[in-house]
Amino acid sequence: MTQDTAAAAQFAAPPASQADPFTPPATSALWRRDFLLGAATAAYQIEGAVREDGRLPSIWDTFSATPGKVLAGDTGETACDHYHRWEADLDLLTQLHFEAYRFSIAWPRVMDEAGRPNAKGIAFYRRLLERLKEKGIRTFATLYHWDLPQHLEDRGGWLNRDTAYRFADYADLMSRELKGLVDSWMTLNEPWCSAYLGYGNGHHAPGLANGRYATQAMHHLLLGHGLAVTVLRANDPASAKGIVANVGRGTADSPSEADVRAARRFEVQHNAWILDPLLKGEYPRELFELWPGTEPLVLDGDMETIAAPLDFLGINYYFRTNVKSDGAHGFVEAPPEGVERTQMGWEVHPDGLRDLLTGFARTYDNLPPIYITENGMASDDSVRDGRVDDTQRIAFLKRHLAAVNEAMDAGVDIRGYFVWSLLDNFEWAFGYERRFGVVHVDYGTQVRTPKRSAELIARFLAQRRALDVA
């Protein structure tokens, strides 16, 4: 028996008397073998090794090293040390029976300032992908998960139109070097966060705060996406191409017309700002009524490039936001009392995921197939007697998977679901305090401990595989 097989058996056959609070009902579409269940990570959050093998500084290296920007002064310098421990981390995917893995490529690791390939950085991702293929795990590679090379930010970053073309160059290199190893390419992760948190309010790298900056950065991000889709299709035609959007459910604090309009405008700002240009080829007019004077500079042909056809759309969902009118044209948050929240302070609201998915299907006639590319929660997990009992996460995942199933029953084409995250990791401006993983990481020793949620996911996937074999 191999080490992987032995570890898998550990989770596949628990005592029959042990209650299972995760496994979906027999009628759930989640039992279908063509519905992928995977785990997700991101390069800066797990890799570490920020100065090894030719990797260049990123905006998150700069931002996290700036006093006061990240909780406790944490940085991604070591993170989960995945750059050195990747083989064991991929073994975890096998042990837990995950069928797909979504990860990101660090742009600063694979190219130098002149745009020339960095062979050592590229070789790291090639080894990673080859091992995943050997294991029979589907590969989903994100090109940009927020770690812009610092030398590009020094030239204006996403405020500079040229960055969109440099992103296309990067996509061109990666799709030529890794052709045939990636099942699905994702151009951008959460452009809303990159544009709004990075350039609009300064909570994320590069830490700028200007409304016009946010909309111009978004335009260049989406332009880079459209340019990248073209080169990905040319270089790696057998792979699927998509993008990942974080979406937010906005609900009205009262049935008043003003509050209902406020909730709609919340969703325009969070969802339509990204999805309308991708799927309609235009920005929503209401966005610039909400943010007057922030219209980006759009050149002829830009919107056609941005609206390049997608093979799939990645959706990241975590919580809803209850809002009320600000007395003018916008909204302010109106947090409800007595609701369940995570360690992040986010409300647990699985119905919001279902409502968004069914709403998108009604709004966009050309909505492509969907993957839930991130869903999960942070909790203050600790290891006790060799175990991590993350009861709230187990309930969270089961309820959100049930919401996905409800959306599928309503006719939404959803192909899979990725848990965020495989590992506890560097949670951006919150550092290492907030734990999203289904595997606990001791950051001092780098010891990995699968949590109870991971054990239950593994049990379900083993049961599903056994039914398929039978």
The set of catalytic residues is 190, 374
| CA 390 – CA 380 distance, rounded (Å) | 9
Q: What interhelical angle do 119-135 and 82-95 show, nearest 10? A: 10
| CA 58 – CA 373 distance, rounded (Å) | 24
Which helix H or strand E contains 246, and what residues bound it?
strand 240-246
Nearest to 379 by CA among 316, 438, 339: 438
In 310-452, at which residue ranges do the beta strands (DSSP E only) sit? 312-316, 320-325, 331-333, 370-375, 414-420, 439-441, 448-450
Beta bridge partners of 149: 58
**Exposure b/e, 268-281, CB count within 10 A at least 16 = b:** bbbbbbbbbbbbbe
Question: In residues, how long is the chain?
Answer: 470
Structure token pair of residue 257: 């017309």
Q: SS3 breakdown of the chain: % helix, strand, coil, rounded to 5?
A: 45, 15, 40
Task: Say which DSSP state 13 is in.
Answer: S
CA distances to 93, 126, 244, 347 from 419, in Å: 12, 23, 14, 18
Binding site, annotated residues: 45, 145, 189, 318, 420, 427-428
